[in-house]
Amino acid sequence: DGGITQSPKYLFRKEGQNVTLSCEQNLNHDAMYWYRQDPGQGLRLIYYSQIVNDFQKGDIAEGYSVSREKKESFPLTVTSAQKNPTAFYLCASSLTSATYEQYFGPGTRLTVT
C-alpha cells in the first residue's frame, strides 16, 4: 500500500525543547511539503523540497528546519525559536514540484506547554 506516514499522531513537549516530526512516503514522489494548520487559518507552507538534498522556505519557515537526505523522508524539526509551535502539522508529497495533486499524510498534532 503506497502512501505517506507521519508519526506520532500526537506529540507533547515542554517549551524550550526541539522536536522532530517524521514524514515518510513510499510513492516515489520527488517533491515533499510541510504545512502548518491552525484553526480557521487553512494550510500554511513551512518548507518544501523539489528533490533530494534540496529544500526551500515557505511562507512561515522561521523557527523550523528540515532535511532531505533520502527521497522517502522529509523530517521537520520545530525548534525552540518557534514562538507558537502548538499546531497540526501536515506532510504532503507530489510526483514532481510541477504536479498539482498533493497527497497528504494523517498529520501530527503537536502541543507545547
Which residues bind to other proteins, rule: CB under 8 A? 33, 35, 40-45, 48, 58, 90, 92, 100-107
User: Residue 41 carries which DSSP code?
Assistant: S
Cell of 102: 498533493
CB 33 → other proteins: shortest distance, Å?
7
Residue nearer to other proteins on the CB measure, 19 or 90: 90
Residue nearer to other proteins on the CB measure, 16 or 42: 42
Residue nearer to other proteins on the CB measure, 51 or 81: 51
Q: How far apart are CA 109 and CA 74, in angstroms?
A: 17
CB 72 → other proteins: shortest distance, Å?
18
Q: How far apart are CA 82 and CA 37, in angstroms?
A: 15
Q: Are 57 and 111 in contact (CB under 8 A)?
A: no
CB 44 → other proteins: shortest distance, Å?
7
Cell of 88: 497540526
CB 16 → other proteins: shortest distance, Å?
28
Sheet holding 64-66, edge to edge: 4-7, 19-25, 76-78, 64-66
Residue nearer to other proteins on the CB measure, 18 or 62: 62
